[in-house]
A and B are shown apart, each in its own frame.
Chain A
Amino acid sequence: MKGKKNKILIQNGITYAMVILFWVVIQILSAAGHVSSLMKGLLVPLCIYAILAVSLNLTVGILGELSLGHAGFMCVGAFTGAFFTRCMEVSIPSVGVRFFLALAAGSAVAGVFGILIGIPVLRLKGDYLAIVTLAFGEIIKNLINVMFIGRDSRGFHFSIKDSLSLGLEEGGEVIVKGAQGITGTPRAATFTIGVLLLLLTLIIVLNLINSRTGRAIMAIRDNRIAAESIGINITKYKLMAFSISAALAGMAGVLYAHSLATLAATSANFGYNKSIMILVFVVLGGLGNIRGSVIAAIVLTALPELLRGLNDYRMLIYAIVLIVMMLFNSSPKAIEIRTVFMEKIRRKKSESAAKEA
Chain B
Amino acid sequence: MSFLSYLISGISLGSIYAIIALGYTMVYGIARMLNFAHGDIIMVGGFAIFTVVSTLGMAPLLGIITAAAVCTLLGVTIEFVAYRPLRGASSLAVLITAIGVSYLLQNLALLIFGSNARQFTSVVTMPGLKLAGGRLSISGETIVTILVCIVIMMSLTAFINKTRIGQAMLAVSEDRGAAALMGINVNRTIAITFAIGSALAAIAGALLCSTYPSLTPYTGSMPGIKAFVAAVFGGIGSIPGALLGGIILGVVENLSKAYISSQLSDAIVFSLLIVILLVRPTGILGKKINEKV
Interface residues of A (CB under 8 A from B): 60, 66, 120-121, 123-124, 126-128, 130-132, 134-136, 138-139, 142-143, 145-146, 160, 179, 225, 272-273, 276, 279-280, 283-284, 287, 312-313, 315-316, 318-320, 322-323, 326-327, 329-334
Contacts and interface: CB of A to CB of B under 8 A. Distances in A.
Interface string B72-91: 00000000001001111111
B274 A132 contact: yes
Given A142-B263, A331-B85, A123 B278 contact: yes
Chain B facing A: main interface SS: helix
B26 to A, nearest CB: 15
Contacts of A326: 86, 93, 96-97, 100
B161 interface: no
Contacts of B266: 138-139, 142
Contacts of A145: 263
Contacts of A135: 229, 270-271, 273-274
B136 interface: no
B99 interface: yes
Nearest to A315: B107
Interface residues of B, number: 46
A10 B266 CA distance: 48
B160 interface: no
A126 B91 contact: yes
B93 A124 contact: no
Contacts of B93: 283, 326, 329-330
21 contacts: A120-B278, A127-B91, A128-B277, A130-B95, A139-B271, A160-B261, A225-B291, A272-B225, A280-B99, A283-B96, A284-B96, A312-B111, A318-B103, A319-B100, A322-B99, A323-B100, A323-B104, A326-B97, A330-B86, A331-B85, A332-B86
Contacts, number: 127
Given A126-B91, A329-B93, A131 B267 contact: no
Given A132-B274, A139-B271, A313 B111 contact: yes
A319 B221 CA distance: 16
B232 interface: yes
A316 B96 contact: no
B274 A120 contact: yes
Interface of B: 28, 34, 82, 85-93, 95-97, 99-101, 103-104, 106-108, 110-111, 221, 225, 228-229, 232, 236, 261, 263-264, 266-267, 270-271, 273-274, 277-278, 281-282, 291, 293
B89 A332 contact: yes
Highest count of chain A CB atoms <10 Å: which of B93, B232, B270: B270
B279 to A, nearest CB: 11
A273 B221 CA distance: 10
Given A142-B264, A142-B266, A287 B107 contact: no
Contacts of A327: 82, 85-86, 97
B155 to A, nearest CB: 28
